[in-house]
Amino acid sequence: MIQLTHTPIDFAALTESVRSTQAGAVVLFLGTVREMTQGRQTVALDYDAYPEMAEAKLKELEAEARARWPVIEAGIVHRLGHLELGDVSVAVAVSCPHRHQAFDAGRFLIDRLKEVVPIWKKENWSDGSTEWVHPGTGEAAELSG
Amino acid sequence: MKTVLKLFARARDLAGSPALELDLPDSATAADLRIALGERVPALEPILSSLLIAVGNDYAAPTTPVAGRTDLAVFPPVSGG
C-alpha cells in the first residue's frame, strides 16, 4: 500500500496489513520528527510534496523491492503538512520469508525514498526562522520566520 | 511553444508562484529550460544548478525534450522521510 496523508499515520494498522502466513519476518521503519540537528533546535517540520509524482515514484520503489527481494507485502505511508516533535513522518512496513530479506528491502525502500521521491521538509527552528531542507544545495537557504 | 511547469518547495518560494508559463523553442530540452528559467526568474539563481526537472512522473535528462509540455515540474533536491 502506498499512501500520502495529512493525518497521523496508523503504523500499527500498516504493520498488521503486511503480516502474512507466508512471512517469517515483518520489519517496520518509522521516521520521526527529531528535536536536535547539528546543535540547532527544531520545534516543528512542514512537509510538502508533488503528490502525483511522489505516489508514482513510491510505486516504482515498491516494484523494484519486489524484483530484488521475495517481498510478501509492503506498505509505505508518508505524512504531509505540519508535524510536531516526535510525530511519525513516514512508515515503511515489509514482510518477507526471512529477516535479512525484510531488513534489506525495508532499508532499500526508506533510503531510496529519501533520494528520489519528491517530498520536502521545512525546518521550523526554535529561533523562529524557517528553512527548506534541500540536500546538496550548499547554502543556508534561510528565510525569515 | 507554450510550456507550463509547476514549482515546489524553495523554488516555489523564490519564484513567488506555484506555476510558470514559458515560451520555448520547439527544440528546447531540459537543459534549455534550466537556462530559460534562470533568465525569467533571476531569484532562482542561487539554486538553479541544483534544480531537478521532471516530465510527467519521471526525472528528465538534460537532453529530454520539454517544449510544449504542460506536465513539467521543477524543484530542489528532495528531503522526505
Of the candidates A125, A145, A110, the one whose C-alpha atom is nearest the C-alpha of residue A41 is A125
CA nearest to A87 within chain B: B81
Of the candidates B78, B77, B63, B66, the one whose C-alpha atom is nearest the C-alpha of residue A90 is B78
Test mutation, A137, A142, A144, chain B, max B CBs within 10 A: A137
Residue B44, all three cell numbers: 532562482
Is there a contact between B31 and B55 (Cβ–Cβ < 8 Å)?
Answer: no
Is there a contact between A8 and A33 (Cβ–Cβ < 8 Å)?
Answer: no
Is there a contact between A57 and A74 (Cβ–Cβ < 8 Å)?
Answer: no
- Looking at domain A2-129, does it have CATH number 3.90.1170.40? yes
pLDDT of residue A109: 98
Q: What is the mean pLDDT of residues B47-60?
A: 98
Architecture of domain B2-75: Roll (3.10)
Residue B73 and residue A31: Cβ atoms within 8 Å?
A: no
The one-letter code for the residue type at B29 is T
> Residue ranges of the domains in chain A?
2-129
pLDDT of residue A138: 57
> Does residue A112 have a pLDDT over 90?
yes
**Per-residue pLDDT tens digits for A52-92:** 999 999 999 999 999 999 999 999 999 999 999 999 999 99
